[in-house]
């Protein structure tokens, strides 16, 4: 099956090449491009910190600050093979890759609080509601990576250069993203907390994204292309802005949670679901939020080579 | 044997007489002069080096400015398609100049003589030593001596460096330097005019001194000013006869011809007051020369030194050329009368007869299209015999004019069956007649008109009396005249083709009737057909947007690719040096792109001509002149057969293609008008400061491009493309868009 797909792709490219469609800059139809997406994330879920009451990392209570603002520079690498099929339009296949790390905090239940009423909790639900565990917030270094496959349709503005791939352009794209978070070398204590026997732990998530970019390209020496663009991408499932800038409830369940079937749909979870507050769910959302924001708005620098 | 030889010789002479060779347009000959093959930038640099470093800074700057502008502007003139070199006229002028400069052979060598295809009676000299003589002047001067006087005058302009001095003086006046510091603006303007007139008087004086050294007649030195005084008139004044456009059965009404014409000098007043003019009045100049010649002995002085025969030959050429110039300039009435004058001496001259045909054709086309005002001169403002032509054209109806033109063309066609130009024009006139006036051939009689005796005489138009009438009296007079005309001349055009309506005539007529019916059908489509047509058009437009046009042209001539770089910040001035460089680069790109597309191109670029490119230059001139005329027709939405079709056919045969293109780019650096606004906004909202600074500092550009492709065989345009790009005219943009243009020209349609 894979072989057939490859053959189909080769046949498609060949037919494009052999067709008389010589429209485009000097009749060159393929553009192999490397893009570096970057944004300066001033407000960014690089670090998800639990916050609450208590001292020295010992927390009492359920309210946590989801994230702390951190300065960070995000980078996405992208390789793009563009086929110019008409004077002002092209289609591309895009492969993107990004890596990041998250300082994720998990909560370790170290005891049960005798406290039943916290200041600030002026609740009418009664004291019993607010007994909670004594928690220890532990930093958990998580490495996350994301791999994307996408297709893109680019339209070059006629009033600018009138010829692809030159001048101002706008492009719509669709991407499939596979994101993986990895926690390596879990200590015994962490294994215990996470209720796992593995020393490495990884969590994957697949989703899709829709993107639009607006940019400008210039050709040099008839072959080399430099581009500058701004790109926007919306990743389904990533509650981006909420994660980035607002307080958010993170779960404090003692373990990475799996339901009875061993899977659940992250996006269907509501706050009233017990899974919502699991540490696994929290990590997943944190990771998606992190990667999602990284994709949301980017300045994109590209270098490309025009191929006949 | 002797008898046989005699018979053969007789036969040969008869044949050569019968096949009278048509006048061939004047062309450049020999090698291209350096003035044409040297880049303007090189000429400028060479002249710049000659500026004396010890001169005042202001003068050095003014000279530098003059050399820069004059060299580039001269280049434009040289390649305007109107300048000829080493042609018969230029060579003749050079010979006369040799007589004038007999004592100064080095100066003669220094000067270059060129013919300018212009009907204006004028000549001028440049600071670089180029002397231009308009064909209008050569056609009007009466003899060699008069021409010698003009040459002497122009040489003085060169030797006394009038051009550059005038430029410096003008700058001084405008900037109020030196003596002009404390004078009013009006006085400064006056000073400019005075300075120019002083130059002219100096040229007359020094020119005459030089002239005196020759053996030319003093009388002619005076008479030359008469040539200038009446330069607005045709080269002769001979009554325009009614019979000229008539044939055996086509008789024009008497009332279409003026009984009397305006006296010469009655309308065009001599400009005695030369205040504000660059030239002194003719009267003053005549008096000035008269003073100089009074008392001089004219004995033994002659009007011809190079030779009378030679002068007559050159003058004849100039007069023939005037026909072409007038036709090219759409001055059809002038062309008609000019040809009429030539035909008075040479009644069978084919070129003159064809000029008449073409002039009638042009007038008919414009009258049919109701754009007559574009080509018609006001007859009330004309003087002399030619006024009759203007009046006739003013009075005749479009159908009558179409008929008269077709009648003339048809007769010419019968005599010159192989002439492509005549055939094409005749067919087009027939087409116009059918499409605009009648689809019934029975509207034209096959039997001669039976004269009806009538006591009422047709009213004659008296222009002298007419001009004296009040506005309302004029309206009344015209109405009376029109009524009289209708009563006395019922449908004279009905009998225009009696004896001419053979099979060929009727077949052609019917062919256009069928075409007309087909066209009417296409114009009256049903709603469904219209919807289908629109759908098809929409589909086609979509295809063009995606893939571009596909003309499938394998070879094309690229004429005069142009590139202008404009700076809006400096009053839209052209950046001369960078425009020249860009143009050179453009022609290189055309060749390079065409090669990669396997498109065969012949580039005629005015910056890359070599000394042995005269043939190419002549073709360049023909094509550019043709385009100039064509552009005006296109602007007026008139489709016409080429006026110089035969020359175009030669070009087509020589280069092996019927497609010609004109490509051009203009890069404009725009004036930034909102920079302060952006900065102010940024100051109020500092977050926008980087954006504000970017917009304030970043220059804005626009690029304009055009491409016109013509089929010179049919005289039709194949493609007119123009575009405005909101981007800088970078090398990649020009190269990319140029490739796209050539790709569209070359590519063939693969599907319908």
- Can you tell me the distance from the alpha carbon of B750 to that of B549, in angstroms, rounded to the nearest whole number? 11
Report the pLDDT averaged over residues B335-352. 95
pLDDT per position as a tens digit, B301-338: 999 999 999 999 999 999 999 999 999 899 999 999 99
Length of chain B: 752
For β-strands B659-669 and B562-567, DSSP reports them as: parallel
Q: Are B90 and B114 in contact (CB under 8 A)?
A: yes
Predicted pLDDT at A293:
66
pLDDT band at A145 (very low <50, low <70, confident <90, very high): confident
What is the reported pLDDT for B734? 92
The neighbouring-strand residues paired with B280 are: none
Chain A residues close to B733, C-beta within 8 Å: 161, 166-167
The answer, yes or no, to whether residue B488 has pLDDT greater than 70, is: no
Do B732 and A23 make contact, defined as CB atoms within 8 angstroms? no
Q: Are strands A167-183 and A58-60 parallel, antiparallel or unpaired?
A: unpaired
Q: Which of B314, B312, B345, B339 is nearest to B324 (CA)?
A: B339
Chain length of chain A: 308
Which pLDDT belongs to residue A151?
96
Does A162 sit within 8 Å of B725, measured CB to CB? yes
Chain A, nearest residue to B750 by Cα = A20
Q: Which residue has the higher pLDDT, A241 or A86?
A: A86
CA B482 to chain centre: 35
B405 close to B357: Cβ distance less than 8 angstroms: yes
Helix H or strand E encompassing B555: strand B555-559
A161: nearest CB among B546, B736, B747: B736
Closest residue, chain A, to B701 (C-alpha): A160
B597 touches A at CB < 8 Å: yes
Nearest-CA distance from A19 to chain B in Å?
10
Closest CA to B621 of B82, B113, B115: B82
Candidate from A98-107, A257-266, B96-105 with smallest mean pLDDT? A257-266
Contact check, Cβ <8 Å, A219/B726: no
| Contacts (Cβ under 8 Å, ≥6 apart) of B122 | B134, B136, B137
Q: Which of B732, B738, B747 should we substitute to test contact with A (largest number of A Cβ atoms within 10 Å)?
A: B732
* Chain B nearest C-alpha distance from A106 (Å): 38
Structure ipTM: 0.70
Range scoring the smallest mean pLDDT among A51-60, B223-232, B570-579, B696-705: A51-60
**For the segment B450-461, what is each residue's pLDDT rounded down to a tens digit?**
655 455 566 677
Nearest Cα to Cα of residue B101 among B141, B139, B131: B131
Cβ–Cβ under 8 Å, residues B596 and A26: yes
Contact B712, B660 (CB under 8 A): yes
pLDDT of A119: 43
- pTM for the full model? 0.79
pLDDT for the residue B685? 80
**DSSP label at B420?**
H
Q: Residue B662: which region, alpha, beta or left (left: phi > 0; alpha: psi -120 to 50)?
A: beta
CA terminus-to-terminus distance, chain B: 70
pLDDT by residue (tens digit) across B464-483? 788 888 878 878 887 777 66
Q: Which residues of A touch B (CB under 8 A)?
A: 20-23, 25-27, 86-89, 159-163, 166-168, 218-220, 222
The residue to which tokens 């052609």 are assigned:
B508
Instruction: Report the range of poorest mean pLDDT among A298-307, B489-498, B560-569.
Output: B489-498
Instruction: Please tell me the least confidently modeled range out of B30-34, B168-172, B334-338, B730-734.
Output: B168-172
Is pLDDT at B348 greater than 80 in this prediction? yes
C-alpha distance from residue B390 to each of B261, B320, B326 (Å) = 11, 21, 15
From B747's Cα to the closest Cα of chain A, the distance in A is 8
Helix B398-415 × helix B350-368 angle, to 10°: 150
The pLDDT value given to residue B10: 43
Q: pLDDT at position B628, please?
A: 84
Residue B50's contacts (CB-CB under 8 Å, 6 or more residues apart) are none
Helix axes B144-159, B162-175, angle to 10 degrees: 50
* CA-based nearest distance A70→chain B, Å: 21
Quick check: B275 contacting A, CB < 8 Å?
no
What is the rounded distance in angstroms from the CA atom of residue A99 to the CA atom of residue A77?
9
Query: Residue A28: its pLDDT value, please?
Result: 84
Question: Per the structure block, which two tokens stand in for B546?
Answer: 């995606």
Contacts of B189 (CB under 8 A, 6+ apart): B276
Q: Which of B596, B725, B730, B746 to mutate to test the interface with A (most CBs of A within 10 A)?
A: B725
SS3 B354: helix
For tokens 């007359």, what's the residue?
B204
Counting runs of H as helices and runs of E as strands, what totals does chain A give? Answer: 4, 10
Please answer yes or no on whether B740 and A87 come within 8 Å at the CB atom. yes
Element (H, E) at B114: strand B112-116
Q: What is the mean pLDDT of residues A267-274?
A: 54
Which residues in chain A have their CB less than 8 angstroms from residue B725's CB?
159-162, 167
Predicted confidence (pLDDT) per residue in A24-50, tens digit: 788 888 999 999 988 765 444 444 555
For position B142, what pLDDT does the model report?
A: 94
Contacts by B191-198, CB closer than 8 A, 24 or more apart: B193/B275, B193/B276, B193/B277, B193/B278, B195/B166, B195/B169, B195/B170, B196/B166, B196/B278, B196/B279, B197/B274, B197/B277, B197/B278, B197/B279, B197/B280
Q: What percent of chain A has pLDDT over 90?
A: 20
The Cα A31–Cα A224 span in angstroms is 9
Rounded Cα distance between B65 and B168, Å, is 9
Interface check B700 vs A, CB under 8 A? no
In angstroms, what CA-CA distances link B674 with B566, B575, B699, B728?
20, 24, 11, 19
Structure tokens at A121: 């909790």
For residue B216, what is the DSSP state?
B
d(CA A210, CA B585): 43
Residue in chain B lying closest to A166 (CA): B733
Which residues in A lie closer than 8 A to residue B747 (C-beta atoms)? 20, 22
> What is the rounded average pLDDT for all residues in chain A?
68
Q: Token pair of B103, please?
A: 């004592």
pLDDT at B16 over 50: no
Q: Which residues contact B719 (CB under 8 A, 6 or more apart)?
A: B549, B551, B707, B708, B709, B744, B745
CA distance A21 to A11: 16
Using the beta-carbon criterion (under 8 Å), do A163 and B750 form an inter-chain contact? no
> How confident is the prediction for chain B on average, in pLDDT?
86
| 8 Å CB contact of B732 and A25 | yes
CB of B337 within 8 A of CB of B389? yes
The residue-averaged pLDDT of B215-222 equals 91
Chain A nearest CA to B734, separation (Å):
9
Axis crossing angle, helix B350-368 with helix B308-328, rounded to the nearest 10: 20
Q: How far is CA A183 from CA A294, B9, B534, in A?
A: 20, 114, 64
> Cβ atoms within 10 A of the Cβ of A196, count?
15
Mean pLDDT of A157-168: 84
Report whether B43 contacts B69 (CB < 8 A): no
What class has domain A2-307?
A: mainly beta
CB contact under 8 A, A87 and B545: yes
Q: Which of A20, A88, A162 sits opposite B747 (nearest CB)?
A: A20
Tell me: the pLDDT tens digits for A240-261? 433 333 333 333 333 333 333 4
B736 touches chain A (CB under 8 A): yes
| 3-state DSSP assignment of residue B571 | coil
Exposed, middle or buried, B607 (CB in 10 Å: 0-12/13-18/19+)?
buried
Give dist(CA B328, CA B627) in Å, integer.
10
């Amino acid at each position: 099956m894979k072989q057939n797909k490859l053959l189909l792709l080769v046949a498609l490219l060949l037919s494009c090449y052999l067709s008389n469609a010589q429209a485009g800059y000097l009749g060159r139809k393929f553009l192999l491009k490397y893009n570096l997406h970057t944004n300066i994330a001033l407000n960014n879920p690089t670090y998800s910190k639990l916050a609450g009451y208590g001292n020295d990392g010992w927390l009492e209570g359920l309210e946590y600050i989801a994230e702390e603002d951190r300065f960070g520079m995000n980078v996405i690498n992208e390789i793009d093979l563009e086929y110019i099929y008409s004077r002002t339009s092209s289609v591309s296949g895009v492969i993107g890759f990004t890596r990041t790390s998250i300082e994720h905090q998990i909560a370790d239940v170290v005891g049960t609080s005798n406290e039943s009423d916290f200041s600030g909790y002026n609740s009418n639900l009664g004291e019993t509601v607010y007994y909670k565990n004594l928690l220890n917030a532990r930093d958990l270094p998580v490495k996350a990576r994301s791999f994307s496959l996408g297709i893109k349709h680019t339209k070059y503005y006629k009033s600018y250069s009138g010829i692809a791939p030159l001048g101002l352009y706008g492009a719509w794209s669709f991407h499939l993203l596979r994101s993986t978070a990895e926690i390596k070398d879990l200590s015994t204590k962490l294994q215990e907390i996470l209720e796992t026997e593995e020393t490495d732990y990884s969590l994957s998530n697949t989703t899709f994204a829709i993107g639009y970019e607006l940019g400008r390209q210039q050709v040099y020496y008839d072959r080399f292309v430099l581009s500058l663009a701004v790109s926007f991408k919306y990743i389904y499932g990533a509650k981006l802005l909420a994660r980035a800038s607002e307080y958010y409830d993170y779960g404090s369940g003692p373990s990475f949670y799996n339901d009875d079937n061993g899977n659940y749909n992250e996006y269907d979870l509501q706050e009233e679901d017990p899974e919502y507050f699991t540490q696994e769910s929290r990590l997943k959302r944190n990771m998606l939020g992190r990667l999602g924001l990284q994709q949301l708005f980017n300045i994109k620098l590209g270098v490309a080579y025009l191929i006949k | 044997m002797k008898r046989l030889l005699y018979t053969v010789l007789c036969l040969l002479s008869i044949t050569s007489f019968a096949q009278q060779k048509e006048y061939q347009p004047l062309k450049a000959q020999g090698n291209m002069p350096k003035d044409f093959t040297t880049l303007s930038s090189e000429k400028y640099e060479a002249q710049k080096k000659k500026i004396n470093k010890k001169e005042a800074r202001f003068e050095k700057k003014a000279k530098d400015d003059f050399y820069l502008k004059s060299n580039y502007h001269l280049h434009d003139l040289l390649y305007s398609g109107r300048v000829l070199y080493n042609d018969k006229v230029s060579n003749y002028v050079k010979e006369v100049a040799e007589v004038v400069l007999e004592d100064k052979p080095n100066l003669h060598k220094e000067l270059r003589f060129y013919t300018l295809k212009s009907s204006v009676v004028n000549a001028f000299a440049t600071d670089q030593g180029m002397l231009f003589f308009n064909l209008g002047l050569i056609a009007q001067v009466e003899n060699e001596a008069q021409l010698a006087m003009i040459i002497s005058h122009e040489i003085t302009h060169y030797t006394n460096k009038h051009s550059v001095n005038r430029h410096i003086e003008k700058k001084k006046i405008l900037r109020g330097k030196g003596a002009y510091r404390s004078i009013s603006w009006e006085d400064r303007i006056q000073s400019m005019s005075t300075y120019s007139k002083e130059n002219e008087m100096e040229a007359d004086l020094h020119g005459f001194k030089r002239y005196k050294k020759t053996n030319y007649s003093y009388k002619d030195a005076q008479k030359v000013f008469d040539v200038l005084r009446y330069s607005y008139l045709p080269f002769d004044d001979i009554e325009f006869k009614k019979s000229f456009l008539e044939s055996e059965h086509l008789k024009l009404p008497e009332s279409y011809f003026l009984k009397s014409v305006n006296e010469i000098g009655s309308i065009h007043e001599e400009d005695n007051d030369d205040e504000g003019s660059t030239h002194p009045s003719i009267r003053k100049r005549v008096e000035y020369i008269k003073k100089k010649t009074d008392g001089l002995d004219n004995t033994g002085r002659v009007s011809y030194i190079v030779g009378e025969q030679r002068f007559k030959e050159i003058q004849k050429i100039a007069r023939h050329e005037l026909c072409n110039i007038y036709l090219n300039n759409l001055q059809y009435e002038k062309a008609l009368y000019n040809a009429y004058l030539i035909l008075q001496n040479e009644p069978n001259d084919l070129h003159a007869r064809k000029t008449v045909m073409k002039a009638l054709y042009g007038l008919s086309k414009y009258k049919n299209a109701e754009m007559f005002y574009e080509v018609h001169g006001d007859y009330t403002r004309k003087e002399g015999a030619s006024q009759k032509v203007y009046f006739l054209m003013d009075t005749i109806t479009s159908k009558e004019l179409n008929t008269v033109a077709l009648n003339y063309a048809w007769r010419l066609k019968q005599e010159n069956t192989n002439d492509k130009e005549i055939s094409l024009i005749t067919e087009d006139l027939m087409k116009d007649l059918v499409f605009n006036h009648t689809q019934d051939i029975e509207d034209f009689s096959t039997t001669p008109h039976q004269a009806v005796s009538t006591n009422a005489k047709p009213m004659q138009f008296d222009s002298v009396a007419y001009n004296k009438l009040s506005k309302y009296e004029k309206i009344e007079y015209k109405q009376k005249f029109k009524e009289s005309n209708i009563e006395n001349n019922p449908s004279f055009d009905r009998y225009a083709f009696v004896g001419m309506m053979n099979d060929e005539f009727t077949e052609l007529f019917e062919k256009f009737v069928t075409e007309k019916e087909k066209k009417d059908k296409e114009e009256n489509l049903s709603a469904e057909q219209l919807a289908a047509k629109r759908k098809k058009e929409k589909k086609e437009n979509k295809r063009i947007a995606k893939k571009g046009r596909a003309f499938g042209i394998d070879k094309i001539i690229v004429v005069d690719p142009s590139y202008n770089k404009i700076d809006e910040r400096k009053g839209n001035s052209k950046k001369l040096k960078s425009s020249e460089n860009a143009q050179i680069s453009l022609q290189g790109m055309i060749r390079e792109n065409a090669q990669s597309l396997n498109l065969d191109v012949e580039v005629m670029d005015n910056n890359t001509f070599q000394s042995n490119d005269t043939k190419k230059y002549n073709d360049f001139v023909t094509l550019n002149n043709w385009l100039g005329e064509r552009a005006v027709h296109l602007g007026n939405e008139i489709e016409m057969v080429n006026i110089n079709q035969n020359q175009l056919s030669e070009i087509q045969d020589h280069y092996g293609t019927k497609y010609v293109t004109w490509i051009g780019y203009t890069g404009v650096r725009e004036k930034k008008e909102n920079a302060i606004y952006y900065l102010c906004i940024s100051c109020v909202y500092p977050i926008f400061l980087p954006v504000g600074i970017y917009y304030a500092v970043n220059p804005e550009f626009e690029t304009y491009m055009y491409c016109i492709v013509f089929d010179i065989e049919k005289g039709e345009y194949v493609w007119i493309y123009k575009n405005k790009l909101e981007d800088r005219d970078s090398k990649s943009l020009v190269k990319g868009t140029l490739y796209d243009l050539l790709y569209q020209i070359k590519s063939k349609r693969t599907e319908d």
